[in-house]
């Protein structure tokens, strides 16, 4: 049985990122595996023994509530420290960092990612694509990554975190204004997402795992303690067509970087 934790869908469920848990469950079931989703709502303890955890996006107030709960509960931190895979989207990425800006103030994050989030000058919105860096637990990724970004957070990665992807389209983690005074500012402006330990985080909506089946299977393989290459492949033409359509989609002009 594969147990998938859907973390705080009541506050981090604004952009349809709950779909990532559905994709994981369906891809497992298509391989003949039993899989169930376990919603964990605000105020409920986060079990630390599930096989994989997903977090989605939300607004400022929701982020603050999520951070307070996850810090005080500690279950997700214990799960990540035990090596259980965690997949976080947008606000989920920010909440798992060291700090983020919300409602005009700096809020302490969960601390699973060496990342801090301030504000962007202009909203990053539109198609985003990247080449996987193959950092850490993503070493087996070979296929380009695609999603839809919609955020005002400028996320800067510290030395303990590495980017999930190197941008080929879109804005990614941070803009010119947020990185102008950084010694590695030009590199930071090429980053999309973050990888640290067993945590993979990204600004890609879509849902991300519907648009990136190899990434979904990487997470499944990690949850099951096996190599990605040993996971039975799935042939789903509709998903292949979706990827082609999204990579070929017209894109809005990239902001000044």
Q: φ, ψ for residue 21 (rounded to 5)? A: -65, -40
Check if 38 is active-site: no
Are 24 and 220 within 8 A, CB to CB? yes
| Torsion on CA atoms 226, 198, 25, 45, rounded to nearest 10 | 130
CA dist., res. 37 & res. 29, Å (int): 12
Check if 69 is active-site: no
Find, among 172, 178, 209, 179, the residue nearest to 194 by Cα. 172
Task: Give me the DSSP letters along 77-128.
Answer: HHHHHTT--EEEETHHHHHHSSEEEETTEEEE--SSSSEEEEEEEEEEEEEE
Q: Binding site annotation covers 25?
A: no
User: Which helix or strand (DSSP H or E) is residue 202 part of?
Assistant: strand 199-202
DSSP 3-state percent helix, strand, coil across the chain (nearest 5): 30, 30, 40
Q: State the binding site for substrate.
A: 123
Q: State the binding site.
A: 123
The residues annotated with a catalytic role in the active site are: 90, 205
């Amino acid at each position: 049985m594969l147990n998938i934790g859907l973390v705080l869908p009541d506050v981090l469920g604004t952009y349809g990122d709950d779909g990532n848990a559905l994709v994981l469950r369906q891809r497992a079931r298509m391989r003949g595996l039993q899989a169930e989703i376990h919603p964990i709502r605000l105020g409920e303890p986060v079990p630390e023994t599930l096989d994989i955890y997903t977090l989605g996006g939300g607004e400022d107030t929701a982020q603050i509530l999520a951070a307070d709960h996850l810090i005080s509960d500690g279950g997700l931190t214990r799960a990540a420290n035990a090596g259980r895979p965690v997949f976080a989207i947008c606000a989920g990425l920010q909440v798992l960092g060291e700090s983020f800006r919300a409602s005009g103030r700096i809020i302490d994050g969960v601390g699973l990612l060496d990342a801090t989030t301030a504000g962007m000058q202009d909203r990053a919105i539109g198609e985003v694509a990247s080449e996987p860096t193959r950092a850490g637990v993503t070493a087996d990724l070979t296929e380009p990554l695609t999603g839809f970004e919609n955020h005002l957070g400028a996320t800067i990665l510290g030395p303990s975190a590495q980017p999930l992807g190197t941008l080929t389209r879109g804005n990614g983690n941070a803009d010119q204004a947020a990185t102008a005074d950084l010694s590695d500012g030009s590199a930071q402006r090429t980053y999309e997402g973050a990888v640290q330990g067993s945590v993979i985080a990204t600004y890609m909506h879509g849902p991300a795992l519907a648009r990136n089946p190899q990434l979904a299977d990487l997470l499944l393989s990690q949850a099951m303690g096996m190599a990605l290459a040993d996971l039975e492949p799935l042939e789903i033409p509709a998903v292949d067509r979706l990827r082609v359509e999204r990579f070929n989609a017209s894109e809005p002009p990239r902001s000044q970087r």
